[in-house]
Structure 1
Amino acid sequence: MSLSAETAQRRWRETNGRDPLFAAYDGSNCPSLPQDRADSHSLLLTRGLIRIQRPWPPRDPIGRNITVDYKIEIVRDPTGCNSGKYGPAAEHPTVSVYRRPRPLANMKYLLAVGFAYDPKQGMPLPLDPETKKPLSGNLMADGRASTLTAQMSDAAGSHLELTRHLTPAQMRQITDFESRVFTAQQRDVSGTALDADGAEGGPMKLFTSRPGQLGSIGKPVWSEFEAWEKPKPGLTREAAAFRASVARGAKIFRDKTFLITDSSGINSPIGFGNPVRNACAFCHNMSQMGNDVAPGQVDLGTTTLPFADPAPDLPLFRITCLGRPHPHYGRVIYTSDPGYALTTGRCADVGKITLQSLRGLAARAPYFANGSAKDLRGLVDYYDRRYHIGYTEQEKQDLVNLMRSL
């Protein structure tokens, strides 16, 4: 229930670009481009990116403009969708960014609340306006909609371009459907079911389990692969070696620590110190899923210089903080996606993105919000460079094999 660049390419070939996936509004680099040409959809076809058009300045949930403490300028606009009739200087100002769609599955985990407050901001959790219950903050990349009904309304008025509001009955039907969808890898590369031989993988396990937090509810993340440390007799040599690698990868994910530095949401604003020593499971900590049980957004540097990989096909924005400088980047920031700052209007939130869940990861390349890692090895290599971890080749392969089994 997600999208890979490979799937987008196949749909383009099979439908000659006429699939609704390639709608001008969001499946194109910009609606002003000739829509029958593949290069007008290059970001979707090569990076798996959907255009997200945000209002400028940002607006609160009831449509009021938010006071912004930064200035945004366009440095590079390869798609043409941040200038002319579009962009922050247009008659009706907007900012277009390009992001990977998030999986529509495993909702009971994404909606689970593991804290009574937002530990990344030191603030109380926002409440669902309908149920008055705390919100998880794990639904959308930039936190612009915090409930399923709010997300539906946002999508109906933008991506779907509906001329009428969804009715409450239609929203209930969609919510019921979404709550029933569970996705995970079902078989490993040897063809063996992931819920066999003592392991606890696969979508059925997600359906029957309850959300859990590392060190609190349930088992530590990816402990379901402990049974593979000593594969059972009868497996081929290749299958046994792969499963042993997955078990090692799960331990590396939980136990190999490194210094996490200059990452808003982790090291600031209240933070855990800068640097803080921890492992991958520090953020990807929910058992069975690998998403972050703690609400709030994090900046890993994937969209923001100097950490981001070169992306000449994406827009480049210059952000100038008008108040306090950014705690890690200073007063002037260059980014291809301001992220959460397009929701809050705060310079301190530039680059922050809601962390992804990891189930079904192998089926939805490329990775990160901007599709900058073309494969799982590229994802591991980015973290290794970003945080100077020093993984060995074997450790990198073990982590890749773990993620191929989720």
Structure 2
Amino acid sequence: MSLSVSTIQQRWRDTKGTDPLFAAIDGSNCPSLPQGKPESHSLLLEKGLIRIAMPWPPRPFNGKPIDPEFSIEVVRDPTGCNLDPEWGIDSPSSAISVFRRPRPVINIAHLMELPHGVPPFNNFFFNDAMPLPKGPDTGLTVPQQLMADGRGLTPKFQATDAALTHLQLFDALSDDDLEEIEAFERQIYGAQSFDNLAGDLTSPESPPGLGPQALVISPKARLGNNPLNKIFGEFSMWASTADESQEVQQDKVKAFKASVARGSEIFREVRFYISDVGMYNDKGLGNPFKRSCGSGCHNTLSMGMDLSPGFMDLGLNNFPWQNRRNDLPLFKITCRDDVLPQSFLGREIYTHDPGRALITGKCTDVGATMTQQLRGLAARAPYFAGGAAANLRELVDFYDRRFNIGYTEQEKADLVNFMRTL
């Protein structure tokens, strides 16, 4: 229930580019380009990116335009869509085109659950002490884990938005349609169930947290950053006391499983200094703040997303952390003098995707996105919202470089092997 580049490229070959996946409205670099040519769909074919047209000025879920705290200038526009007279920022419809990976449609039941023991749920807060929003259809507090920028508050709202924008339906989906879509989504649980080296990940000899069934029975919205509730369960049955012995080296399966067990330990326990992360280090935690992957941003039991919840800017879209990319549009954000600046990037920011700021219009939100679940990773490369990491090793390398962690080659391999079993 996700989308990989290998799948996209196979669909292009099988249908000669006629599959609905390659629709001009979102499956091409811009609807005004000549369709049916690979170069017009390069971001989808090479990075798995869907075009998202965000209204400018921003309109949050209630549809009312807001006065943004910043101006936005198109510095570079390789797809041509942001400066297009029909589809761009100066067009009659005035939109900003950003390009993002679709998030997987699995484990929605976990994504939509708020922590237990916080009655009433209306009192639950973001990690910056702001109250969570309320769903427009129920009036109940919602966790905002569905989409990277938080614009889809509920499965029904997300389906309505997708139907009108991506599918280009003339009429909104009916209430019955929305009920059926949400019921369908809430019953889907997904995780890696087989590995080419480890074999069946759902066998009795496998760690109990692996496989889709583990997500069906796992408690929802619980912290997994403690010894009693380890995020993805216990991997000790795969550990080996002779990691470097000749015997283990000859047994590739045993060596791989031992590597996975070490990777799970690194993920949970190895702490490093997290610094200059907008909407994280500026919330009273300290800068830098020492945490591990599992005790910080990926702490939800069985899922590995952020339970707080909280948007944050890891530098995936913004300079100087993200390597300059010539395939994506580049925007210059200039924040007004009378508003709070982006905590670590100031008032003048260069970004490939303003992220959450295209919803809220706030300078402090530039580049911020919501962390996502870590299940089924092996099947849905490339990674990050902009597809910047082609594989899991590049994902690990980004964090190692971003936070000066200093992982060894063995530790990087262990982390990759661990994540590919999730």
Normalised to the residue count of structure 1, the TM-score between the two structures is 0.95
Instruction: Read off the aligned partner of 2:212 and give its amino acid letter.
Output: P
Does 2:229 correspond to 1:219? yes
Post-superposition CA distance 1:139-172 (Å, at most 9, x none): 0011111111110111011001011110010111
Alignment of 1:376-395 (within 5 A): 376-395=392-411
Instruction: Read off the aligned partner of 1:133 and give its amino acid letter.
Output: L
Instruction: Read off the aligned partner of 2:335 and give its amino acid letter.
Output: C
Contact kept in structure 1, 2:225 and 2:231, CA below 8 Å: no
Q: Percent identity?
A: 49
Q: Distance in 2 between matches of 1:17 and 1:364?
A: 21
Q: Distance in 2 between matches of 1:369 and 1:62?
A: 24
Contact kept in structure 1, 2:8 and 2:45, CA below 8 Å: yes
Does 2:103 correspond to 1:95? no
Does 2:216 correspond to 1:202? no
Provide the residue aligned with 1:129 in structure 2: 136
Instruction: Read off the aligned partner of 1:87 and give its amino acid letter.
Output: G
Q: 1:342 aligns with which of 347, 358, 363?
A: 358
Q: Distance in 1 between matches of 2:167 and 2:66?
A: 25
SS of the equivalent of 2:231 reads coil
Instruction: Read off the aligned partner of 1:43 and give its amino acid letter.
Output: L
SS of the equivalent of 2:253 reads helix
Post-superposition CA distance 1:310-350 (Å, at most 9, x none): 21010000000113321100110000000000000001000
Contact kept in structure 1, 2:259 and 2:417, CA below 8 Å: yes
Q: 1:372 aligns with which of 379, 388, 400?
A: 388
Does 2:23 correspond to 1:23? yes
Q: 2:166 aligns with which of 153, 159, 164?
A: 159
Q: Which 10-residue stretch deviates more, 4-13 or 212-221?
A: 212-221
Q: Distance in 1 between matches of 2:180 and 2:226?
A: 33
Alignment of 1:3-152 (within 5 A): 3-85=3-85, 86-114=87-115, 116-152=123-159
Gapped regions of structure 2 (runs ≥ 5):
242-247
Shift of 1:127: 2.0
Q: Distance in 2 between matches of 1:158 and 1:396?
A: 40
Shift of 1:217: 11
Does 2:313 correspond to 1:313? no
Shift of 1:32: 0.3
SS of the equivalent of 1:181 reads coil
Provide the residue aligned with 1:188 in structure 2: 195
Instruction: Read off the aligned partner of 2:238 and give its amino acid letter.
Output: W
Q: 2:302 aligns with which of 269, 279, 288?
A: 288
**Cα root mean square deviation, aligned:** 1.7
Q: Which 10-residue stretch deviates more, 289-298 or 161-170?
A: 289-298
Provide the residue aligned with 2:245 in structure 1: none
Contact kept in structure 2, 1:259 and 1:275, CA below 8 Å: yes
CA shift in 2, pair 1:198/1:80, >3 Å: closer
Q: 1:358 aligns with which of 374, 381, 394?
A: 374
Normalised to the residue count of structure 2, the TM-score between the two structures is 0.92
Provide the residue aligned with 1:239 in structure 2: 253
SS of the equivalent of 2:382 reads coil
Post-superposition CA distance 1:171-203 (Å, at most 9, x none): 111111101111111022325221321511101
Q: Distance in 2 between matches of 1:275 and 1:64?
A: 38
Q: Distance in 1 between matches of 2:34 and 2:284?
A: 47
Contact kept in structure 2, 1:265 and 1:271, CA below 8 Å: no
SS of the equivalent of 1:224 reads coil
Moved over 4 A (4+): 215-218
Shift of 1:294: 1.5
Q: Distance in 1 between matches of 2:387 and 2:146?
A: 18
Post-superposition CA distance 1:91-138 (Å, at most 9, x none): 221000000000001011111213753343211122223333321110
